Amino acid sequence: MPQFINDPTLPKPDFPGSHMVIDDHYVFISGLTVADLSNGHAAKGDIKEETRLVMRELERMLNQEEGSLADVVRVDIHLADLKDLSAMNTIYAEFFEPDCYPARTCTESPSICGSSRLEITLMAKRASRD
């Protein structure tokens, strides 16, 4: 049976959903923006800093579940402007081993919640439970 988890360090979702859903095999993390982070407001508008903060938070959330970014198998990225793709990619790539990148989709979504420049969602393989 899946577990539906809201991280106490993040604002409660203002939509009908959970921050994370965990089953026996995977961790699913809902879209995260810098607007969701208490330290994110200063980064708004700087795509590199927004990417860095969101990726660090996703990493922290995975660590809570005894996982890491090395376990990520799929990422969905929504950018307010696809012109930010190259700058975002330079920071995003720093969080993964070269040539070990998850499957990914990237779309332009001009109306991201909280006036953020990007939103990232991911799915990671869960550590085996013996």
User: Which position has the higher pLDDT, 91 or 129?
Assistant: 91
Query: Which pLDDT value is given to residue 39?
Result: 67
- Please determine, for residue 42, whether its predicted confidence score (pLDDT) is greater than 80: no
For 89, the enclosing helix (H) or strand (E) is helix 85-93
- Entry field: residues in the chain: 130
Query: Which pLDDT value is given to residue 130?
Result: 54
Integer Cα distance of 95 and 60 in angstroms: 12
Q: 74, exposed or middle or buried, with CB in 10 Å at 0-12, 13-18, 19+?
A: middle
CATH of 3-125, one of 2.120.10.70, 3.50.50.60, 3.30.1330.40, 3.40.1350.10: 3.30.1330.40
Mean pLDDT rounded to a whole number for the chain: 91
Domain ranges of the chain: 3-125
Mean pLDDT computed over 97-114: 93
pTM, 2 dp: 0.92
Give the confidence band of 104 by pLDDT, cuts at 50, 70, 90: very high
Dump pLDDT digits (tens) for 47-77.
Answer: 999 999 999 999 999 999 999 999 999 999 9
Dump pLDDT digits (tens) for 15-32.
Answer: 899 999 999 999 999 999
